[in-house]
Amino acid sequence: MSQATSLRKTDVTLTINGKSYTRQVEPRRLLVDFIRHDVGLKATHIGCEHGVCGACTVRIDGRTARSCLHFAVAVQGAEIETLEGLSADGRLAGLQKAFHDAHGLQCGYCTPGVLLTAEEFLSENPEPSEQEIRAALSNNLCRCTGYVNIVKAIANAARDRDKTTADPAGESRK
Amino acid sequence: MKPAPFEFRAPVSLDGVLEEMREHGEAARILAGGQSLVPLMNLRMLQPSVLVSINHCKELSYIRAEEDGLVCGALARQWDVEHDQVAIQRCPLLVQALHHVGARSNRNRGTVCGSLAHADPLAELPAVALALDADMIAASSTGRRVVPAREFFVGALENSLRPDEILEAVRFPYAPTGSRSCFIELGNRNHGFAIAGVALEVTFGEDGRCRRARLAVMGGENIAKRASDTEVALAGSIIDEAAAREAGRLTASLVDVAGDFHADAAYRRELVAVLVERALIQVASGAAGRARSI
């Protein structure tokens, strides 16, 4: 097979944050590059590009995944959610406020991936111990090593969600 | 880095996948979850010229409770197997090991069969497949064959599939009555690559003696290995602290261990001894259940 056929672009259609995008890309186009460069959504960051750092974490069909470990063409038709989508409807608002309050970020590069990881984690484990939070974060690298405040922010978010859950007025935020 | 160019195929049926493999054979790689393959492609350590994705082949995503074991299709994702009720109740060793396979976001996408076919020396699932004598079901356009785990794993990153074959499914036998299992590993984190690890299932007789032990060890040098001599030594014995320690020592003398940045070979060997001892004490004391990191 010739190099030319390998480089031939194909149509890839993905739903990102509820909106459908079709772009012509090479088969080797990584999902993270599709999101950032072809669609132009820049909240998803590229770190290590081999699945170690977690900066590129998105949701594919509802579950977290590393967007640097997927070819856009291989997830043809999937529903993708990025930080932009999850914060737009308020789902991440409490978590984001907790990061703000606890100074849970320094340079902010790892933060989008940390937020998506934490959101999935808290939705399944609403009352985590510190050890569980650390385990859940252990594949999201903060190069600033600001883990203490990240862990604190997630613990605070869990505590505040509990209050919200106990308060019927806050029902909509669950 | 970005991967080298490749031709992409995404058949929607198993027959379509097998046809692509017949045509492209040696030049092709199967893309399932991609959690091991894509990093290597991004680093250009692997440059397949054809990638055959099975991600749109929904007929392969099954997890089936059959009479003689739990069968996971090629597209059964690790997170789904880990939370399958039959797997939890009847294949505890598999579920315990799955807790350690990559992070949550890796397990969401990675497949059980993909990890097995990749055959990494420090991957958990080959150790489980070897310990339990799982059946690997290989398929090609000319038919199917069942490959016992011991014949499937050839070496580090090497399996015995022919170029035109795929690992269509794996069958894990159910845990026998009276058995307890333990998967234990030590690494920098509680998932991802370990330094060493142990997959153990012990069937106890009514007298409390070990009737049958199944033990596989991963030490990083080569693909995980059955510790058959340890199994023989344990059969018929009471597993107390002294027996567990002795079994650990014996196992450490049998396995090939790697020496690298994370741990030298002497440390790894000592660790294998300690992990085998702890796993045996855990199953003997009945403290089975969820695998935990140490």
Nearest CB partner across the interface for B105, out of A1, A28, A117? A117
Q: Single out the residue of A75, A36, A86 nearest to residue A56, CA to CA.
A: A36
Q: Does B47 touch chain A (CB under 8 A)?
A: no
Asked if B244 contacts B202 with a C-beta cutoff of 8 angstroms, the reply is no
Q: Which residue of B105, B108, B109, B189 is the best one to mutate when testing the A interface, meaning the one whose CB has the most A CBs within 10 A?
A: B105
Chain A residue nearest residue B45, CA to CA? A50
Nearest 5°: the CA angle A16, A19, A21 is 75
Share of chain B above pLDDT 90, in %: 92
From residue A150, give the alpha-carbon distance in Å to each of A134, B51, B200. Answer: 9, 39, 37
Residue A164's identity, in one-letter code, is T
Closest Cα partner for A141 from A114, A115, A117? A114
Write out chain A residues lying below 8 Å of B7, CB-based.
Answer: 1, 5-6, 27
Q: Look at A74 and B31 and tell me if their CB atoms are within 8 Å.
A: yes
- Going by the DSSP 8-state scheme, the letter that residue B25 receives in this structure is G
Q: Does B293 contact A at CB distance below 8 Å?
A: yes
Binning pLDDT at 50, 70 and 90, where does residue A3 land?
low
Residue A5, pLDDT score: 64
pLDDT band at A165 (very low <50, low <70, confident <90, very high): low
CA–CA gap between residue B142 and residue B55 (Å, rounded): 22
Asked whether the beta carbons of residue B105 and residue A136 sit closer than 8 angstroms, the reply is no
CA distance B66 to chain A (A): 28
Between CA B62 and CA B226, with CA B176 as vertex, the angle to 5 degrees is: 85
Q: Do A135 and B105 touch (CB under 8 A)?
A: no
The domains found in chain A, sorted by start residue, are 3-86 (3.10.20.30), 90-173 (1.10.150.120)
The answer to whether B39 and A50 have CB atoms below 8 angstroms apart is yes
Taking only the tens place, the pLDDT of each residue in B130-153 is 999 999 999 999 999 999 999 999
pLDDT digits (tens, 9 = 90+) for B40-78: 999 999 999 999 999 999 999 999 999 999 999 999 999
pLDDT tens digits, residue range B245-285? 999 999 999 998 999 988 999 999 999 999 999 999 999 99
Distance between CA atoms of residues A47 and A62, nearest Å: 22
Q: Which residue of chain A is at minimal alpha-carbon distance from B188? A: A138
Q: Which of B104, B120, B191 to mutate to test the interface with A (most CBs of A within 10 A)?
A: B104
Cβ separation of B49 and A68 shorter than 8 Å?
no
Q: Do B108 and A63 touch (CB under 8 A)?
A: yes
Q: Go through the domains of chain B in sequence order and give each one's CATH number.
A: 7-53 (3.30.43.10), 60-172 (3.30.465.10), 179-284 (3.30.390.50)
Of B199, B198, B193, B197, nearest to B261 (Cα)?
B193
| pLDDT value, residue A46 | 96
The string of DSSP codes covering chain A is --HHHHH--EEEEEEETTEEEEEEE-TT-BHHHIIIIII---SS---SSSSSS-TTEEEETTEEEEGGGSBGGGGTT-EEE-HHHHHHTTTTHHHHHHHHHTT--SS-SSHHHHHHHHHHHHHH-SS--HHHHHHHTTTS--TT--HHHHHHHHHHHHHHHHHHHHSGGGGGG-
Pick from A153, A64, A157: nearest CA to A113: A64
d(CA A33, CA B126): 33
Q: What is the pLDDT of residues A66-107, one digit of tens each?
A: 999 999 999 999 999 999 998 888 878 899 999 999 999 999
Check if B106 contacts A (Cβ < 8 Å): yes
How far is B124 from B121, CA to CA, in rounded Å? 9
Q: B32 pLDDT exceeds 70?
A: yes
Q: Is the minimum CB–CB distance between B42 and chain A shorter than 8 Å?
A: yes
User: Which residues of chain B have a CB within 8 Å of the CB of A63?
Assistant: 79, 105, 108-109
B190 in contact with A, Cβ within 8 Å:
yes
| Separation between Cα atoms, residue B226 and residue B214, nearest integer Å | 8
pLDDT top residue among B156 and A3: B156
CB contact under 8 A, A57 and B105: yes
A:B CB pairs within 8 Å: 111
**pLDDT band of B204, cuts 50, 70, 90:** very high
Closest-CA residue of chain A to B110: A65
Q: How confident is the model at residue A4 (pLDDT cuts 50, 70, 90)?
A: low
Average pLDDT of chain B?
Answer: 95
* pLDDT at residue number A90: 81
DSSP annotation of B77 reads: B
The shortest CB-CB distance from B103 to any of A10, A26, A138 is to A138
Reported as a single tens digit per residue, the pLDDT across A6-52 is 678 999 999 999 999 999 999 999 999 999 999 999 999 999 999 99
Q: What is the pTM of this model?
A: 0.94
Closest CA to B139 of B234, B13, B251: B13
Chain B residue with CA closest to A134: the answer is B189
In which residue are the tokens 């038919």 written? B143
Contact B10 A76 (CB under 8 A): yes
